Chain A
């Protein structure tokens, strides 16, 4: 699975949009981009995933560049409860392995 690079930490003001970047320059054509988040002392929570089209759900939007070498997770109106570590993961569907490989993620701190 391709490796991802994320900033270690980011701040965001409450009520503003949080834009979390992820680089995955070695992504393969059959690899999806997944985002999870982990709030302190809880297990990771699935947010969203995509292949090449932009995706939106009730939690967030995922913007994937045309060359698929990077993506951005957007939380449109961040709240204090969105303070968490956000993980960007790329993984092939149906490949030899079914595991998700987590990096160290981005610690998003939403400030009041």
Chain B
């Protein structure tokens, strides 16, 4: 297992289009997180899954955003009707149940540019 994988690494899309990102966590990690990061800021929490259950969503996650983790393994984050303000790095992280001892492992992110 080589860590948390995110695909694509970069995405350029026109305003109004839909985009979908994929995250493959470390296989034995049952917790998965999505974050968004804009230039000069720290990552902002978007949502959290434990296995296939989405247990927490940030107010940042508007109705245009949806995340799924259908079988408790990989996850997808979809943004509908993209806006220029959605341009950011989207980061995925995973952790085992006993995250006290291990922290999170982050992927390298998907950089979205909305033109």
Binding site for B on A (CB under 8 A): 32, 34, 36, 41-46, 49, 85, 87, 93-94, 97-105
Contacts and interface: CB of A to CB of B under 8 A. Distances in A.
B103 to A, nearest CB: 3
Given A43-B91, A43-B93, A101 B106 contact: no
B33 A99 contact: yes
A45 B109 CA distance: 12
Interface residues of B, number: 26
A57 to B, nearest CB: 11
A98 B51 CA distance: 14
B25 interface: no
Nearest to B93: A43
B103 A103 contact: no
B31 A98 contact: yes
Contacts of A41: 108
A99 B60 CA distance: 14
B79 interface: no
A43 B42 contact: no
B44 A100 contact: no
